[in-house]
Amino acid sequence: MRPVLAHWSALWPVIAIYAVVAGAHLAGALRGGPDAASRRGVTREAELFQAGLALALLATVSPMRYWSGVYIWVRALQDLVLAVVAPGLIVLGAPWAALARSLGRPQPRGEVPGEAMARTRPWWLRWPVATAVGFNVIWLSWHVPALFDRVPVSPAAAAAEYVLYLAAGILFWLQVIGSRPWSAGAAPLRGAELLIGTLAADTILGMVLVFGSGVIYHAYANSAHHVMTVLDDQQLAGAVLWMGMLPPMIAAAVAVLVRWLNEEESHALSAGIDRLLTPRSSAWPSRPKFR
């Protein structure tokens, strides 16, 4: 247990960025809505956002970072945390209004927090398909052997991977599930298609690693593989990528389909009310008037 807990990294730029963002978010969240229901919602979202930030921090400074340069399966777990899990929690945490308040942006009196932001739809929510394609390109590119083997020996490559994973993951989840005060960039059915396509791409990557008969990542041929071989480690990493992507994608697909059903039910209800309120013209001919 001692070797596992011994390898902590003091990456001061990462820790400083985390402290600034987390502190600014908490300062803005404390100025949440005035009513109790709004405060409860802000508290739940703040917990999710802070959990996502903490996971991203732990993936880069905890022993996970050290062991990700030793074992391929730990690297696969780190990739999932940085590209999928942490960005998903950050988006669910909806920190945008709280961060805007902490930066001193005035909130008009009597206006619901975030209402002004909701009126202006950000440009990055206008191209959901391109964003999903970009996320998959980044995800698959960093698993190409030339780039994958570069990260453990190059701090610059590692920093680029971490930043791209977090940025691409946040943009991807914004398109699919949305983040208050903005709705999702993709319509529900299109969002489900993007989730299925992303899961299919990751499944192919996982199958290549699980069923491959040769070592792909030669940089991991180190002396630590005396219990399992590098090939076993690589196959386990493929299983982690394959199975680890399933829970968040399935949960998001269920949420997207529920949203679609709610919207369909709302449209049907609105149409029914419109039919009831619209006066109908009688099918019988009007009676002649006698003078």
Is pLDDT above 60 for 35? Answer: no
Q: What is the mean pLDDT of residues 109-120?
A: 55
- pLDDT (tens digit, 9 = 90+) per residue, 214-238? 999 999 988 888 888 999 999 999 9
H or E stretch at 138: helix 128-141
pLDDT at 3: 57
Round to whole Å and give the CA distance between 207 and 203: 6
Whether the pLDDT of residue 282 is over 70: the answer is no
Instruction: Annotate 222-246 with three-state secondary structure.
Output: CCCCCCCCHHHHHHHHHHHHHHHCH
Distance CA 46, CA 40 (A): 10
User: What are the tokens at 261?
Assistant: 């059903």
Structure confidence at residue 274 as a pLDDT band (50, 70, 90) = low
C-alpha atoms less than 13 angstroms from C-alpha of 172 in its C-beta half-sphere: 32
Residue 143 has pLDDT above 90, yes or no: yes
Looking at residue 268, what is its pLDDT? 52
Which pLDDT score is estimated for 25? 92
The pLDDT of 119-147, averaged and rounded, is: 90
Residue matched to tokens 């219990």: 227
Q: Are 103 and 24 in contact (CB under 8 A)?
A: yes
Is the four-CA dihedral 71, 75, 77, 78 of positive or negative sign? positive
Contact 131, 124 (CB under 8 A): yes
